[in-house]
Structure 1
Amino acid sequence: MLVFSASDKGGTGRSVTSVNIAYQLSMDGLKVAYLDFDFGSPTVGAIFEISRIDRGTPDDDGLHSYLLGDTAPAGRLSVRSETDRTELRHSRHPSGRLVLFPGDRGGGEFANIDEATVRRCTELLVTCEQEFDVTLVDLSAGRSIALMLALRSTGMPQLSAAVVRWLVFHRWTRQHIVAANGLVHGPHGLLETGAACRHDPELLLESIRYVRTAVPELNEPAGLRPAQAAWLQEQNATLNRAATRYQLGTTVVLGETPVEPMLQWREQVILDADVSARIANEKTVLAFRKLAAGLTNPAIWERLGE
């Protein structure tokens, strides 16, 4: 399964949520690859707390170099073997794997892509499909070259049999709802660009689900004045109506994550040890687990697509 994480805006929690989904999948015993396609800002290594690649690999063997044809094969590393965090190294499933394909430090966004770049990307995705149960590809925000590259590669015959899913992340605000709609349905968006890359727009639409991030907990209005609590309830109802109007209603939502103070201060993998220490909230971990379970459950996707 190939899963592409996209967002129209930065600051949606796309990367940190995707990293936590990948971690939860590996804890379920799956072999998981994580590809950092945020070429201009490859910081997934920092989220996994691998300090030597916190801004991408300095070894000129990252995904940017690979796609340019400067190195082969693409560099990879085991997250649990390389992380600086002891608890993450020791937190594992006997059958699970979590492998990071980092970007290059200072690689930068591509100005354009040619057929050779598409071929190398397709070959990489085919390799990951054969070796891993789930491959998560973290794309740059917006209508980026990374998004175009993903669409062109998955439109190639070599990947015609692959299960491909798209997660579009947005915060629970009107501006982010509008932006997410534009990324999918707007000019040069996912559907329009996908059609130009030999995708069936209807099938592509069925493969897209939304993840709402940093959604406030309405049942815990601690510290709010009555007027504030009432306003929050009203805004939530308004946002639900807007989501439906902009084609982001509940039938196409895979899940949501709550506001998590720990992640507001530090983007990282949240472990059970963080919950036990009462640093992180259990509901956040449960949200990540629900997203991971939903991602790999065909019945849920079939039901959402009805």
Structure 2
Amino acid sequence: MLVFSASDKGGTGRSVTSCNMAYQLSMDGLKVAYLDFDFGSPTVGAIFEISRIDRGIAGDTGLHSYLLGDNGSAARLSVRSETDRPELRHSRHPSGRLVLFPGDAGGAEFASVDAAMVRRCTQLLATCEQEFDVTLVDLSAGRSIALTLVLHATAMPQLDRSTVRWLVFHRWTRQHLVAANGLVHGPHGLLETGVACGHARERLVDSVRYVRTAVPELNEAVGLRPAQAAWLQEQNDTLSRAAVRYQLGTTRMLGTTPVEPMLQWREQVILDVDVADRIANERTVSAFRDLAARLSNQAVWERLEGQ
């Protein structure tokens, strides 16, 4: 399964949520690859707490150099072997793996996509498809070259039979709803670009689901004045109606994540020990587990598709 994490705006929690989903999938016993396609800001290493690649890997061995043809294969690192965090290093499922393909330190967004780059990208994704149960590809925000590149690659015959899923992340605000709708349905968005690359529009539509991040809990009105609590409820109702209007309603939503104070201060993988130490909230970990389970459950995915 190939899973592409996209967002129209930065700050949606796309990368940290995707990393936590990847971790949960590996804890379920799956072999998981994580590809850092945020070429201008390859900081996934920091989320997995691998300090030596917290801004990408040195030596022109990362994904950026691979796609340019500067090296014959992209570097790959076992997250649990390389992480600086002992608790992450020792948390593992007997058959699960979590492998990071980092971007290059000092890499930048590509100016354009050419046939050679598409060929290398296709080969990389096909190799990951054969070796891993789930491959998560973290894309740059917006209508990026990374988005165009993987749309070209997944339209190639080598990947035509692959299970491809798109997760579009957005915060629970009016601006983010508008942006997420534009990324998928707007000019030069996912659907328009995908069709131009050779995808069937309906098949592409059926492969898209949405993830709402940092959604406030309305039943936690402690400390709020009555007027504030009433205003928040009114705004939530307004956003729910807007989500339907922008085609981001619950029938297309894979799941949500709550506001998590720990992640507001430090983007990282949340472990059970963080919950046990009362640093992180259990409902946040439960949200990541639910997202991972729904992503890998074909019946759940199809049920959302049919609603």
Normalised by the length of structure 1, the TM-score is 1.00
Deviations 1:159-181 (A, max 9, x none): 01100000000000000000000
* Structure 1 moving runs of 4+ over 6 Å: none
| Kept after mapping to 2: 8 A contact 1:210/1:252 | yes
The answer for the alignment partner of 1:141 in structure 2 is 141
Contiguous gaps of at least 5 residues in structure 2 = none
The answer for the alignment partner of 1:18 in structure 2 is 18
The answer for the alignment partner of 1:265 in structure 2 is 265
| Secondary structure of 1:45 counterpart | helix
Deviations 1:92-123 (A, max 9, x none): 10000000000000110000010000000000
Alpha-carbon distance in structure 1 between the residues aligned to 2:155 and 2:93 = 34
Alpha-carbon distance in structure 2 between the residues aligned to 1:292 and 1:181 = 23
The answer for the alignment partner of 2:305 in structure 1 is 305
The answer for the alignment partner of 2:212 in structure 1 is 212
Q: What amino acid is aligned across from residue 147 of structure 1 in structure 2?
A: L
**Structure 1 position 224 matched with structure 2 position 224:** yes
The answer for the alignment partner of 1:276 in structure 2 is 276
**Structure 1 position 95 matched with structure 2 position 95:** yes
The answer for the alignment partner of 2:233 in structure 1 is 233
**Structure 1 position 167 matched with structure 2 position 145:** no
The answer for the alignment partner of 2:288 in structure 1 is 288
Offset at 1:225? 1.1
Deviations 1:194-245 (A, max 9, x none): 0001100101000000000000001111111111111111100000000000
| Kept after mapping to 2: 8 A contact 1:61/1:72 | no
Alpha-carbon distance in structure 2 between the residues aligned to 1:10 and 1:22 = 20
Taking the TM superposition and a 5 Å limit, the aligned residue runs for 1:55-74 are 55-74=55-74
Instruction: Report the count of equivalent residues.
Output: 306
Alpha-carbon distance in structure 1 between the residues aligned to 2:212 and 2:174 = 12
Deviations 1:255-302 (A, max 9, x none): 000000000000000000000000000000000000000001011111
| Secondary structure of 2:3 counterpart | strand
| Secondary structure of 1:232 counterpart | helix
Deviations 1:12-48 (A, max 9, x none): 0000000000000000000000000000000000000
Offset at 1:59? 2.2
The answer for the alignment partner of 2:80 in structure 1 is 80
Alpha-carbon distance in structure 2 between the residues aligned to 1:224 and 1:91 = 39
| Kept after mapping to 2: 8 A contact 1:5/1:18 | yes
Q: What amino acid is aligned across from residue 167 of structure 1 in structure 2?
A: L
| Secondary structure of 1:136 counterpart | strand
Alpha-carbon distance in structure 2 between the residues aligned to 1:86 and 1:226 = 45
The answer for the alignment partner of 2:39 in structure 1 is 39
The answer for the alignment partner of 1:30 in structure 2 is 30
Normalised by the length of structure 2, the TM-score is 0.99
The answer for the alignment partner of 2:4 in structure 1 is 4
| Secondary structure of 1:291 counterpart | helix
Contiguous gaps of at least 5 residues in structure 1 = none
Deviations 1:59-81 (A, max 9, x none): 21000000000011110000000
Q: What amino acid is aligned across from residue 62 of structure 2 in structure 1?
A: G
Identity %: 81
